[in-house]
Amino acid sequence: MSPPPPARAPHVFTLTGNLLAERTLEFDAWSPGRTQRAAAESFQVGGKGINVARMLTRLGTPNTALCFTGGAPGAECEAWLAQRGLGHRAFPTLAATRSGVVVRDRSGATRETTFLGADRAPDAAALQACAAFLEAQPDGQVLAFCGSFPGWNDPAGAPLRAALERWNARGVLVADTYGPPLAWAAARPLALVKVNADEVRSIGATDTLAAGHPTVVQRWVVSDGPRPIWVRDEAGQSHTLTPPVVREVSATGSGDVLLACVLHAWLVRGLPLLGAVQFALPYAAANAAHPGIAEFTEPA
């Protein structure tokens, strides 16, 4: 079994396996099929672990975002993180960091549309460097494994997978991932899995969780957009919580804000999991009512 949360606030590491160099283009109005000029443009670094780190930083929780960067897009991502004072450790990889574009319509006629570039798996040297970094950290820290991870099951990933196995025995390992990494995480005694309801269905765990059957993962938080959120706490009890109702502007990153606030409330404030989720829900809802990530007005 994974160890209980530490008695004092630990350092939180987030791991992003699929970084995104993302530009947002804002239009007064737009429609597909013709050339259009944006009214405003901005750059940001995307990836679930980065989003979690941004919210942890806002909450004052010590953290370091781990990621893989390559080429000019990767260098731009590192500069952006440094300029904002976000603690990070980037492991160089040969492939250029993937790019993405968010198109936002100011008229409110359509929701924002996100275009993501092709996934880029980190190379063997980068994965080995990340594994070595994790192995060198002291016991009792927290690692949040976030988002997709291209090439997760490839032989090159063996050192990193082994490092996570060992971390789970000597620290706190949580996951908010999907696809092959989620299947891997759900089969191990992680301290917490926070995941979207669609991803629970993808690994065939919906009936098991709904029926209250034991799982190797200690704690679960299953979100479903604006719909009720399901929690299995440290005692194995199931709970359902309803998020605050907001006018959604952009749901991007709201699940990541939720995870960051849960980690802060659970590990720093010492709340039980149910109380930590109750603390986190207003923040996630406020994020959905704002176009940015972790940039909203403090909820009342």
What span, in angstroms and rounded, lies between the C-alpha atoms of 289 and 300?
14
What span, in angstroms and rounded, lies between the C-alpha atoms of 97 and 75?
9
Across the chain, mean pLDDT equals 91
pTM of the predicted protein model: 0.92
Domains of the chain listed by start with CATH number: 12-20+46-98+119-288 (3.40.1190.20)
Give the pLDDT confidence of 53-110 residue by residue, as tens digits.
Answer: 999 999 999 999 999 999 999 999 999 999 999 999 999 999 999 999 999 888 866 6
Cα angle at 83 between 174 and 284, to 5 degrees? 40
**pLDDT score, position 135:** 97
